[in-house]
Amino acid sequence: MATAIQRCLVQQLRSRSTGKRSLIILKQRPVGVEISKEFAETCSYQGHQARCSHVFPNSDFLTLLQTRGICEGIFPNTRPNEVNQLLSCPQSMYCGFDPTADSLHIGNLLSLVLLLHGQRAGHTPIAVLGGATALIGDPSGKSKERRAMTAEEVENNILGLMENVQRIFKNHCELISHSSIPLSPLKILNNRDWYKSQDVISFLSTTGRHFRLGEMLSRSSVQSRLNSKEGISCTEFMYQVFQASDWLYLFENHNCSIQVGGNDQTGNISSGFDLIHRVTNKYVFGLLVPLILSPSGEKLGKSTGNSVWLDSKKTSPFEFYQYFLNLPDSAIEGFLKLFTFLKNDEITSVVDSHSASPEKRIGQKTLAEQMTLLVHGDSGLESAQRCTAVLFGNSVLTLSSMGLEELQQLVKNASTTELSLTSDLSLKDLCLKIKCFKNEVDAERIIKAGGVYLNQQRVSDPELRIGDGGHILSNHITLVRVGKKNFYVVRWRV
């Protein structure tokens, strides 16, 4: 007798007319993008070893997303039975990211978390990198025309985004999902691939015919620009056509009936819905995540200049960890539900312990740990915790276990000086050599007043001989701090 999954597959194959549905998993590599050896390895890794703890497909998926606040809206919201029916069979679900920067940020992370929940529930996640759409420019939420990007910039940014997405899926699979059933492999596609062989006339005479100008003009992203002094170019006006065509392509070639995006994407998702319905007479659905705002209420995003990046070179694991550690109490429960994979009862228990002693910041610590583990893996979390111990716990032992690079990340703006130790070097001489002070008088005064720290320990004798009393750590480094925030790294020649 056929299993439930087999019945589902047969039903799906019968119900679709395209004949191209890729229920067979394709390990497709974005063409035109250099793929590193690591990328190739993690791709095959995910295909073979990923495991999921849920029964497949998990019918509670949508309820879980809604109760945790991850899915704020379903587009269209008038067909609840169809969307539930669709999700009771294996689907592909996609989210697109335009490579307008070389890294994703925590606003984008929520859509990836939704895809990960989808993967855990038995669906196939697809990340589309907008090699084509980044060159057009999405007007959604933008009061001005975007700066035109060069093809080289876009190609370079794609590499960064691909690395981010791969790393997060790998960390989730290895460190967070304790599972027993294989997860569907993640697909990363570049939308440049399905446009590069089309000429503009055939695109307009085929795809273009399905779009109604009235509907296109009604999108709020278009309306707000039409009513502004800046206006909207034909290029950006056409953006919705490309995002809609992406979805049609994915629907026909990758069984993709679900698009995930921030709620600022409703207009583009609606264009895709209209196109697919017009062409195939089938219904597809958008799952909309809420926009993540900064504590001061603005959207966290690339263009808003307040990003917490997923690339460790732009936001180090320590800074990333600290961002969550410093969130106000009021944000914690919501963020634990949105971003972590802790179960609801685990979150309740964290929130209860936090409320009993808020000064211990148990909620912030749990959130920071879970987020750093997902984004930067266990080595990133260890580094973040080491850096925190040094900066806020004054741990000399931890400081001596750090490499120069990690220390430089910790004290980002600190100058690093290489010195040879002489037997008569005093603290005051050292401070002058590494340019903590402009003159001897200032040096003497501030050291005596207790404003100088060696390896996070206060020292107040300007004549103190350096070298005595473990001022030089076993990693041949001394960290000098003046006041609260001015750091200087000394690297001793050996």
Ligand X SMILES: Nc1ncnc2c1ncn2[C@@H]1O[C@H](COP(=O)(O)OP(=O)(O)OP(=O)(O)O)[C@@H](O)[C@H]1O
Ligand Y SMILES: N[C@@H](Cc1ccc(O)cc1)C(=O)O
Nearest CB to ligand Y, comparing residues 243 and 322? 243
Should residue 137 be labelled a site residue for ligand Y when binding is judged by CB under 6 A? no
**Binds 303, which of ligand X, ligand Y, none (CB < 5 to 8 A, cut-off by type)?**
ligand X
Q: Which is nearer to ligand X, 155 or 406 (CB)?
A: 155
Which residues neighbour 4 within 8 Å (Cβ) at sequence distance 6 or greater? none
Position 246 contacts ligand Y (CB under 6 A): yes
| Chain contacts with ligand X (rule: CB under 6 A) | 95, 97-98, 100, 107-108, 110-111, 138, 261-262, 264-265, 289, 291-292, 299-303
Cα–Cα distance, 342 to 367 (Å, whole number): 10
Whichever of 125 and 130 has its CB closer to ligand Y, that residue is 130
Structure tokens at 63: 């309820």
163 forms part of the interface with ligand Y (CB under 6 A): no
Which residue is it, tokens 């790294």? 489
> Residue 340 interacts with ligand Y (CB under 6 A)?
no
Q: By beta-carbon distance, which residue lies closest to ligand X?
A: 262
Pick one of ligand Y, ligand X, none as the site partner of residue 257 (Cβ within 5 to 8 A by kind).
none
How many C-alpha atoms does 493 have within 13 Å on its Cβ side?
6
Q: Which is nearer to ligand X, 109 or 482 (CB)?
A: 109
Stretch near ligand Y under the rule CB under 6 A, chosen from 127-135, 279-287, 313-321, 430-438: 127-135
Distance, in Å, from the CA atom of 434 to the CA atom of 430, rounded to the nearest integer, reads 6
Residue type, 415: S
Tokens encoding 100: 């307008």
CB of 324 to ligand Y, least distance (A): 23
Q: Does 96 help bind ligand Y (rule: CB under 6 A)?
A: yes
- Cβ-based nearer residue to ligand X, 292 or 477: 292
Among 406, 392, 379, 384, CA closest to 473: 406
128 binds ligand Y (CB under 6 A): yes
Q: Restricting to residues 262-291, name those near ligand Y by CB under 6 A.
A: 265, 268
Name which of 146 and 354 has its Cβ closer to ligand Y.
146
Length of the chain: 494
Find which of ligand X, ligand Y, none residue 317 binds, CB within 5 to 8 Å per kind.
Answer: none
**Pick from 102, 138, 193, 252: which binds ligand Y (CB under 6 A)?**
138
Number of C-beta neighbours around residue 291 at 10 A: 16
Token digits of residue 136: 């057009």
If DSSP states are collapsed to H, E and C, what string results for 373-422? HHHHHHHHHHHHHHHHHHHHHCCHHHHHCCCHHHHHHHCCCCEEEEECCC
Write b or e for each residue in 353-364: b if 16 or more Cβ atoms lie within 10 A of its Cβ, otherwise e.
Answer: ebeeeeeebbbb
Nearer to ligand X, 106 or 464 (CB): 106
Q: Please report how close the Cβ of residue 141 comes to ligand Y at its closest, in angstroms.
A: 9
> Is residue 50 within 8 Å of residue 176, measured between CB atoms?
no
Q: Nearest residue to ligand Y, using CB?
A: 96
What are the residues binding ligand Y (CB under 6 A)? 96-98, 128, 130, 133, 138, 191, 243, 246, 265, 268
